[in-house]
A = this chain, B = another copy of it.
Amino acid sequence: MRLLREKIENEGIVLSDGVLKVDSFLNHQIDPVLMKEIGFEFARRFKAEGITKIVTIESSGISPAVMAGLEMGVKVVFARKRKSLTLTDQLLVSSVYSFTKQEENNIAVSSQFLSKDDRVLIIDDFLANGEAAKGLIDIVNQSGAAVMGIGIVIEKSFQKGAKEIMDLGYRVESLAKIASLKEGQVSFVEQLEEVTI
């Protein structure tokens, strides 16, 4: 997705060999026009899957997921990382380790928002070691619904998550794939792959 790649090239900040900061359009400040384009692209890629629900995780997954949900005509559920007084239903829970926050979280979704007939698209902002995505897959599987695919805004392809999840048999569609962050430079996988999109 050319617009996303340009944003990463122009505004992404490489904090270390493993950490890319995109706070100006995705993780803190949000560019709504870019989010709309991202939602449109997820909808295009998963059009044939008969998606009935999108599952994401707070907070940075919400914007791309809601834009995809608008385009696809389905509702979005965001997994919660923290307990809320209003989260009183029977919960589907999974444990997720966050490398950027350096802590283990239980993530939770109310069981009432996922049924065994649902065909679920999981969306998240980043895919690195795959912890969050695997937690969301676990939750969807607990509900009996089917995981039809995982849509990722930025995949750090040099980390293990994407390969591990594909090896489990899931379809992963990442709109930007980063091969390396070494020497402060962002290098993309298959630089020419999406030039025509």
Residues of A in contact with B (beta carbons under 8 Å apart): 15, 19, 21, 23-25, 27-33, 35-36, 58-59, 62-63, 65-67, 69-70, 73-78, 80, 82-89, 100-102, 109-110, 113
Contacts and interface: CB of A to CB of B under 8 A. Distances in A.
Contact of A62 (B25, B59, B83): B59
Contacts of A83: 101
Q: Which 10 residue pairs of A and B lie closest in terms of their CB atoms, listed nearest first? A: A32-B70, A58-B59, A32-B69, A21-B86, A30-B76, A85-B100, A59-B59, A29-B113, A29-B77, A62-B62
A82 B102 CA distance: 12
B62 A30 contact: yes
Given A59-B62, A62-B63, A63-B62, A28 B85 contact: no
A32 B65 CA distance: 9
Contacts of A24: 113
Contacts of A59: 58-59, 62, 78, 80
B66 A110 contact: no
Contacts of A113: 23-24, 28-29
30 contacts: A19-B86, A21-B88, A23-B86, A23-B113, A27-B84, A27-B86, A28-B77, A28-B80, A28-B86, A30-B65, A30-B77, A32-B66, A32-B67, A32-B69, A32-B70, A32-B74, A32-B76, A33-B73, A35-B70, A58-B58, A59-B59, A59-B78, A59-B80, A62-B66, A63-B63, A63-B66, A66-B66, A66-B67, A82-B101, A84-B100
A66 B35 contact: yes
A102 B87 CA distance: 13
